[in-house]
Amino acid sequence: MMQIPMVDLKTQYHHVKQEIDRAILDVVENTAFINGPAVKEFQSALEQYMGVKHVIPCANGTDALQIAMMALDLKPGDEVITTSFTFVATVEVIALLQLTPVLVDALPGTYNIDPVALEKAITPKTKAIVPVHLFGQCADMESIMQIANKHNLAVIEDNCQAVGAHYTMNDGSRHQAGTMGHVGTTSFFPSKNLGCYGDGGAMFTNDDALAEKLRMIANHGMKVRYYHDSIGVNSRLDTIQAAVLNIKLKHLDTYIANRQHAAAYYDKAFANHPKLTIPARDPKSTHVFHQYTLVLNGVDRKELQAKLQEKGIASMVYYPVPMHMQKAYMDARYKEGDFPVTEELSHNVISLPMHTELTEEQLAYVVDGVLEAVAND
């Protein structure tokens, strides 16, 4: 029986082992553990790849969001709008900074934030919007930037899942995900599309003044050593992680192509199936498939997962509980039923194995496993 995990970082490592081992050993030999040359190298390489003026590396994707919100001078009580269908980090940092998270519903096809609901949620206290490019596809940035400009709001793109995706605006301009808002954030968590061998993150901006501020806040609020101009944090990308990322960035486009190949295979197998809905594509965005996520129609998800597991096929539910139904974020403002699309998705989505190393044989095995399991459900 085959075993198909959600991600296969081991096989990926073995394909680039020589390069990676050499890069890591080099850092160790030079004991350049903190802010070593590989960090600057990676920063420049990623600036070039992203077509953005400034990349500011930091310790993880959650820090990136927090530092971005600190740099935008948001004040306690300011409202920040984001989607209820996301990973907790997005909402967590808003709450930690004593800002008010204002949640809105997602769209049923792309699972990304609904721009109509977003605009309706704006009040005089609203200061920022955090669109999440969920599962690897850009949110409706055309509408979001229009709304933000109209209401004078900052946009922080949570790009933890969509590094390498492109978005085409109505004026024909093409942008990397994470470079359209005032600041973009990402994570290099190992399983992310551009992942390192531990924790890592970065922020993106084209604004020189904002870049300086982001860099300062990530470094204890100091520009000159031991002179602290603002309250900051300690958030650095390790040199060893930067060395790994320098290698992985060179392979990113191939990795994305492999993910897209797997997604196309799944699409072909599941399109038009009465019990399965494949992920919708926004024609303005490319999709880099951090996850391949189906919506089940009248299938018992737990049973399906158990049947897949019996065949050695992994599956996951991203995300089983919407943010407005989480114990930590439950609030008198929200109740069950407020965000019907998000709630429906949280009950019926299922993510299949998706990574850079899937073979045709493995894809065929997953497809057969899923089709067989739903056929006699």
Q: Interface residues with ligand PLP (CB under 6 A)?
A: 60-62, 86-87, 89-90, 132, 158, 160-161, 187, 189, 199, 201
Q: How far is the CB of 156 from ligand PLP (least distance, A)?
A: 11
Question: Distance (Å, rounded) from C-alpha 182 to C-alpha 201?
Answer: 17
Torsion of CA 210, 214, 217, 223, to 10 degrees: -70
Number of other CB atoms surrounding residue 275 within 10 Å: 17
Collapsing DSSP to helix, strand or coil, 216 comes out as: helix
CB of 226 to ligand PLP, least distance (A): 28
Nearer to ligand PLP (CB atom), residue 240 or residue 374: 240
Query: Closer CB to ligand PLP, residue 60 or residue 362?
Result: 60
Q: How far is the CB of 34 from ligand PLP (least distance, A)?
A: 19
CB of 240 to ligand PLP, least distance (A): 16
Least CB distance to ligand PLP at residue 64 (A): 8
Residue pair 4/365 in contact (Cβ under 8 Å)? The answer is: yes
Residue number, 57 or 201, with CB nearest to ligand PLP: 201
Q: Which of 330, 329, 322 is nearest to 106 (CA)?
A: 322
Query: Minimum distance from CB of 121 to ligand PLP (Å)?
Result: 19
DSSP 273: -
Judged by beta carbon, residue 87 or residue 329, the one nearer ligand PLP is 87
The nearer residue to ligand PLP, 306 or 328, going by C-beta atoms, is: 328
Q: Which residues contact 351 (CB under 8 A, 6 or more apart)?
A: 6, 135, 291, 292, 293, 294, 315, 316, 317, 318
User: Smallest distance, Å, CB 162 to ligand PLP?
Assistant: 9
What does the block give as tokens for 228?
Answer: 């602290």
* β-bridge mates for residue 313, sequence order: 4
Residue 158 or 238 having the CB closest to ligand PLP? 158
Helix ranges (H only) for the chain are 9-30, 37-50, 61-71, 89-96, 115-120, 141-151, 208-218, 239-270, 301-310, 340-348, 360-375
> Measured from the CB atom, is 91 or 147 closer to ligand PLP?
91
Report in angstroms how near the CB of residue 93 gets to ligand PLP at its nearest: 9
Quick count: other Cβ atoms within 10 Å of Cβ 130? 26
Distance from C-alpha of 276 to C-alpha of 258, rounded to nearest angstrom? 23
**Of 158 and 282, CB closest to ligand PLP:** 158
Separation CA 60–CA 72 (nearest Å): 19
Q: Which residue is nearest to ligand PLP (CB)?
A: 61
Q: How far is the CB of 352 from ligand PLP (least distance, A)?
A: 17
Write the CB contacts of 255 (distance below 8 Å, at least 6 apart in sequence): 12, 193, 194, 248, 356
How far apart CA 34 and CA 37 sit, in angstroms, is 9
Least separation, in Å, of the C-beta of 186 and ligand PLP? 8
Nearer to ligand PLP by Cβ, of 65 and 304: the residue is 65
**Closer residue to ligand PLP (CB): 61 or 178:** 61
Task: Tally Cβ neighbours within 10 Å of residue 86.
Answer: 26
